[in-house]
Structure 1
Amino acid sequence: MRRLIPRTLAGQSVALVLLGVIVIVVGAGTLAVVDARSDADSMARKEVTAIAVSVAEMPATAEALSAARPSAILQEITERIRRKSGVAFITIMGPDGTRFTHTNPDRIGEKYLGSTAQALAGLIYTETYTGTLGPSIRTIAPVHGDDGTVVGMVAVGITQQTLAQGWRSQLPLIVAVALAALLAAVAGLALIRRRLLRATGGLAPRDLRIMYEHHDAVLHAVHEGLVVIEDGRIVLSNDEARRLLGEPEPDLTDAPEFLRENGLILDDELVAHRGRILLVNRAQVPGTHASAVVTVRDRTELSEAMGELDSMTRFAEALRSQAHESANRMHTIVAMIEMGRAGDASRMATTELELSQHLIDTMTEAVSEPALVALLLGKSAQAAERGIALTLTEDSQLDDSATAVLSPRDMVTVVGNLVDNALDAADPDDPWVEVSVAGDRSGVTIVVADSGPGMDPETFVAARQRGFSTKSGGDARGRGLGLALVVQVVAAHDGELRAENTYGSVVSVVIPAPTMAAATGSGGAR
């Protein structure tokens, strides 16, 4: 039994539809036969009624019934009418049912077989009755005399066999139409089956269900964003893609550039988006221009860890350098003591301690945020190791209320990345970096200047839009993300980022105090 059931979804679908078509065709053919038979019976009833009434109303009929030998007159007339009309019989009888005419002359004089009460009552009556010629549809009509009394009756009938021959003659046409419809349906279903086989790959329903369930499970389980674009519209995106990219409109309205740009091919491209560092791959679907598959991975934590590792490496190098420097100073101080110059040794030791403490006190007094102070101290050590003069301007003043405008983490992100860029861009012949941080509950302003050549407007726009770097290696080495991260923080707080070349290369960030709507609506985004 299972071998009779097609395996593929296309075969099963076509088999079910074909079964339905067969049922419809057979049903329609049966209804056509029943309708033909019904039409034949209806036409027969009308025909025998019309002939019976016509013969009964002929004046010759009533006159012949009053004659001595009615049969001699009526038999010839009724037979002539019967042969022309094609009915089975025309029987004229007296009120007592005695036949005066019949198709078979030997039956003349016998009693009529059928209902006569209705005709004797003056009514026209049609019935199906089995008489001497077999089952027939017959109508009996009264013959009225001059005084209106019933002087006889006329019965006209058509046998069921004759009727059957009539409607059965239509069977070949009905069968031919049914077979033509069935063949047309089979041809159409064959084309549909072929198309379904191509569309489903010849898979069975169970295989398709398993494939869909596994496909859905994989899409939800993978920790990589997946976006499928077809004809310039998003047709599929998994949970991770929606987490990283938000809920882009199907028509790519306000979607990132790497989704909207047709024909774009990316291979492990680093892109800053919504405060995250994303590793994006984009491949075009062969033979199309506006269809592509995009994969997205979150590299934010890794990038932050690499940045922290880089900072720690530089800080460790600075500490190692300072350790060597301190060792040299200690040897010098010990030598001075051995030389009997204890006063000079004491002054040298206390001077270094005072300078270090002064730097800490200055930054702590100007900046109340401990994380930012620690960052600036670390950057100062890095700058000193690289021979760059890093200073905090005298007008820097950041109180505790500024954290309501910009969180400590965002402050570290902005200041750390701007200072790193400035240290890399400082002029080797005159290396200096200047940092200014000021803010309270009304807003925060961060300005980082260096002695480098700065960026022209085109370069600055490019650096804002993507992970752009003017340093060797560019995106391929994971560079160019610092300013992009700053742009994300500034955009999230409706701030302003500017770059200009005045007394040096100056980059400034202005973050205004959040409005009530922004404070309640964007808290999660920060």
Structure 2
Amino acid sequence: MGRSRLSLDGGANVTGTTTRGNRYAFRRLRAVSVARQFFLLQLGVLAVLVTAVLAAAYVEISHESESHAANVSLAVARTLAHSPDVRTALSRPEPPPGLQSLVETVRQANNVDFIVIARPDGTRCVHRDPTRLGTQINWDIAPVLNGHELTQFYQGRLGTSVRASAPVIGADSTAIGIVSVVMTQPKIGDQLHGRLPGLLIAAGLALLAAAFASFVISRRLRRQTLGLGPAEITRMYEHHDAVLHTVSQGLVVLGPDRQLVLANDEAQRLLSLGPDAEGRPSTGLTDSPSLRKLLTAGHDAEDEIHLAGERVLVVTQRTARRDGRLVGTVATLRDHTELLALTSELDSARSFAESLRAQAHEAANRLHTVVTLIAVGKPEEAMEFAAAELTATQQLVDRVVESIADPPVAALLLGKVAEAQRKGLHLVISDDTRVDTVPIDARDLISIVGNLVDNAIDAALTTPSPRRVDVTMRTESDTLTIRVRDTGTGLDPATVRTAFTAGWSTKTADRPHGRGLGLALVAQVVKRHHGTIDVISDGGAIFTVRIPLRQQPERNHRPETSS
């Protein structure tokens, strides 16, 4: 029993070792790169193909050797059957002594094994073995005696042999004997083996050439797959695919030829790309001129602002290199459209809060003045001063709130009035301002008015006093008209079109969302609502925006310059 347990334990150890060895071998196979596996597979397939071709060629050559042996034997038999010496010998009771030497000479010259001459009764009269002279042939010679040539393959003592027989025709046109020529398997094999070296050399050269071609292909495949194994490639693809579909930023990969290699789901949404966009040139990926220029140029960029359709995109682009060779560029896209809309609302609220704070400060000063007037015994002057200041402020607030139906827009204008006062200029809301209905979203209207007023304030601050900005908003028949005029230096008609593109500005950046976006955002919103923008210069710049109250079919509106 002890030996049995030992045997069982030993068997278990051997099985465990074998299993671990198989697992180790499998892991090593999985670790082999795709290129090497492809090379080994090709070598195996090539070896099988060359072996199959070699076997087929061997069979074909074997058949050719047997056919050649049969043709040679029949030719020798036919030649001797037509020989006058053979005919003369067979017409006599005893063949002449010189016939055997003649036949032997022919046999050696044609490298055959046996030549037998027999009479019609089957008696051998010529044979290389003298002991067999006068013996009977043990196969059927009747077809030959009937005048037919006969070729036969048979199994003899020396293996497969070929025998060719021809009749010897006498003067009376009857068979007076036969000539039979035999070539045995060793002779046929000698012919076959003589052709084998050339066949093997050709097969070896073909295998070497195919192996070299497979090696070159595998080297190229190794470079293209970076020497990774199939498990690594599968894992990398699964991880990358998961990341590309879940990342919140748009990802655009362009090749060195500036054609699209990859765009994830978010990039397709932001750029309005279809599923067939792969391979499209960079010039056809977006309608935004600035973004198209950046993608086509392929240089590095950091958090650049670009307008693409109705979206404001923050774009970062990096070039990708491997071993010093440019392999393409990678651009990330972040959608800041909602952020900028919220920023505009925040600016409006901040302006209104600053206006309230400024008014509170002024109210405190005025209250101090009133208290002082009362303290010095002048209550009438105190009442008159307080009533005048309160009336002016209340009249402005009442007029703006009554004229503009949308409270956020009214708050924005009141905030801009206070902001202008702090900066030392006068912002006037015209008496004919009247907006009873707002045909667009309040955020869009705030974006238009806020950016136009900010642009006008900045332009007016560049000129000496008096500085002034006039704002007019009216709904007339089927159009909302917004007009903003400043006392700045005006806008050159040649630069009007570029002024409405992202990045154009006359000042340095002082906002978190970059510089040169104000007028570009205005143009974007106006185009989305099928409106128009007119710009003229008359003692400053005058921007006039017209938005239809009833939506019209979309047209490609561009800012226009009027004189």
- TM class by shorter chain equals 0.7 to 0.9
Q: 2:283 aligns with which of 253, 257, 261?
A: 253
1:483 aligns with 2:513: no
1:26 aligns with 2:30: no
SS of the aligned residue for 2:124 comes to coil
Instruction: Give how far 1:258 is off.
Output: 4.3
Task: Specify the alignment match of 2:9 in structure 1.
Answer: none
Change (3 A) 1:349 1:122: farther
Query: Which deviates more from structure 2 when the two are superposed, residues 220-229 or residues 259-268?
Result: 259-268
1:38 aligns with 2:73: no
Q: Which deviations, in whole Å up to 9, do the C-alpha atoms of 1:325-361 show, x marking residues without a partner?
A: 3455566678889999998888777766665665456
CA distance in 2, matches of 1:155, 1:208: 73
TM-score by length of 2: 0.80
CA distance in 2, matches of 1:374, 1:70: 143
CA distance in 2, matches of 1:476, 1:156: 109
Identity %: 39
Number of residue pairs the alignment of both structures matches: 518
Task: Specify the alignment match of 2:270 in structure 1.
Answer: 244
CA distance in 2, matches of 1:174, 1:376: 98
**8 Å contact kept, 1:258–1:264:** no
Task: Specify the alignment match of 2:12 in structure 1.
Answer: none
Instruction: Give how far 1:18 is off.
Output: 1.0
CA distance in 2, matches of 1:458, 1:475: 27
**Which AA in structure 2 matches 1:296?**
L
**8 Å contact kept, 1:53–1:141:** yes
Q: How does 1:447-486 map to 2 (within 5 A)?
A: 447-457=483-493, 460-473=496-509, 478-486=514-522
CA distance in 1, matches of 2:325, 2:511: 28
Task: Specify the alignment match of 1:282 in structure 2.
Answer: 317
Change (3 A) 1:125 1:440: farther
Task: Specify the alignment match of 1:119 in structure 2.
Answer: 144
**Which AA in structure 2 matches 1:273?**
A
Task: Specify the alignment match of 1:420 in structure 2.
Answer: 454
TM-score by length of 1: 0.85
1:319 aligns with 2:371: no
Q: How does 1:86-101 map to 2 (within 5 A)?
A: 86-101=111-126
Query: Which deviates more from structure 2 when the two are superposed, residues 281-290 or residues 488-497?
Result: 281-290
SS of the aligned residue for 1:95 comes to coil
CA distance in 2, matches of 1:504, 1:132: 124
SS of the aligned residue for 1:100 comes to strand
CA distance in 2, matches of 1:319, 1:325: 10
Task: Specify the alignment match of 2:36 in structure 1.
Answer: 11
Q: 2:482 aligns with which of 441, 446, 470?
A: 446
Task: Specify the alignment match of 2:3 in structure 1.
Answer: none
CA distance in 1, matches of 2:398, 2:448: 23
Q: Which deviations, in whole Å up to 9, do the C-alpha atoms of 1:178-201 show, x marking residues without a partner?
A: 223333333444444444333333
Q: How does 1:40-119 map to 2 (within 5 A)?
A: 40-70=65-95, 72=97, 74-119=99-144
Structure 1: unaligned runs, 5 residues or longer: none
Query: Which deviates more from structure 2 when the two are superposed, residues 351-360 or residues 263-272?
Result: 351-360
Task: Specify the alignment match of 2:187 in structure 1.
Answer: 162
Superposed CA RMSD in Å reads 3.6
**Which AA in structure 2 matches 1:304?**
A
Task: Specify the alignment match of 1:410 in structure 2.
Answer: 444
Query: Which deviates more from structure 2 when the two are superposed, residues 159-168 or residues 143-152?
Result: 143-152
CA distance in 1, matches of 2:465, 2:97: 150
CA distance in 1, matches of 2:477, 2:109: 117
Q: Which deviations, in whole Å up to 9, do the C-alpha atoms of 1:367-416 show, x marking residues without a partner?
A: 4455544433443444455554333335545454x62xx44432222112
Q: 2:413 aligns with which of 338, 360, 376?
A: 376
**8 Å contact kept, 1:22–1:182:** yes
CA distance in 2, matches of 1:276, 1:12: 49
**8 Å contact kept, 2:479–2:549:** yes
Q: Which deviations, in whole Å up to 9, do the C-alpha atoms of 1:300-331 show, x marking residues without a partner?
A: 33333333333322221211222233455566
**8 Å contact kept, 1:318–1:385:** no
**Which AA in structure 2 matches 1:316?**
A
Q: How does 1:325-340 map to 2 (within 5 A)?
A: 325-327=362-364
